[in-house]
Chains A and B, each alone.
Chain A
Amino acid sequence: MINEQKIPCPVCKTQIPFDVSLLLQGAKFSCPKCQSVVAISNNSMTQAEEAVKQYEKLKQSSKKQKDTRR
């Protein structure tokens, strides 16, 4: 399942669906109503990449889908 979050469009307040990992990796998300494009600015890309790395690491360690069959 995708971790789909929503961010209010800074222009028209319409909820823009986005995926945090993709956003932090540089993906751009556009508002379905006014077509404004929300993205991480280039100045913060290094910081964002580091954050997404940490986040994915945690996600891997805690994704426990057990199926114990004996």
Chain B
Amino acid sequence: MAIRPKIDSTYNFSGILIDDLVSLPLLSVVRSESKMSEEQIALLLNNCFNYNPEDNYFTPKVIEMSVTRSVLQPSTIPDGEPNLEQIVTYFNVPLISLFPINALAIQSVKIDFDIDILWQYNENVGAIEERNDSLGARSLIEQTAENSKVEMFGKVAKRKNSVANNVSEMEGIDGMNSSYSIDVLAGPLPLSKGILSIIDLYTSAIDPVEMPEEV
């Protein structure tokens, strides 16, 4: 029989401010983003450069690439068919120009939760509204919006887990999990302008120079 981790299905984030529910995961995303950048810089320095401790210089590692193209060559026999020849040109590019440098940046963060409003406090009336469901609570906020301060108390709502049966089994006896979820998606972003200009520079440098026509 598989050992299942004990997860408290009754946990409802009580005592945590809504602001924190949103900002804490964002802060941790910023931290991991900065850690990722550090790792990327380390990768670039170690992987794309040779370091010389004597003069403290990083020299870019260069990789040889080839371009193969078909070229029609005139026949050596008079009036013969032209020959199709494969011409290979070699050129060097710095390794750094090939790496999608910021490919590992965090692309999006999705924080998703529903809140069950348990009760609210209205400063003007001084009344405590009792247990409302989330729909009821929303209409109450609208009504009291002009009357200054309203404080709401609630808990992160539970969500019926209908999709993954095994997950619900693992997370709660009643199949109800807290609706609080964070999705962090790391993905490729466009290359920075600086790198693009390096690539452009190298491209123009490897452009073949046309020979002047013989007169």
Contacts and interface: CB of A to CB of B under 8 A. Distances in A.
Interface residues of B, number: 50
Contacts of B184: 64-66
A19 B5 CA distance: 40
A3 B188 CA distance: 6
A10 B171 CA distance: 56
Interface in B7-60: 7-8, 11, 32, 35-36, 39-40, 43, 46-48
Binding site secondary structure of chain B? mixed
Binding site secondary structure of chain A? mixed
Given A20-B98, A41-B90, A65-B184, A55 B47 contact: yes
Given A20-B98, A69-B178, A70-B178, A64 B186 contact: yes
Contact of B182 (A3, A62, A67): A67
B199 A7 contact: yes
Interface of B: 7-8, 11, 32, 35-36, 39-40, 43, 46-48, 61, 63-70, 89-91, 95, 98-100, 103-104, 106, 167, 171, 177-178, 180-188, 191, 199-200, 203, 206-207
Given A41-B90, A64-B106, 16 more contacts: A1-B188, A3-B100, A36-B67, A36-B68, A36-B69, A37-B69, A50-B47, A51-B95, A59-B104, A62-B40, A65-B186, A66-B183, A66-B184, A69-B171, A69-B178, A70-B7
Interface of A: 1, 3-5, 7-11, 13, 20, 23-24, 34-41, 43-44, 47-48, 50-51, 54-55, 58-59, 61-70
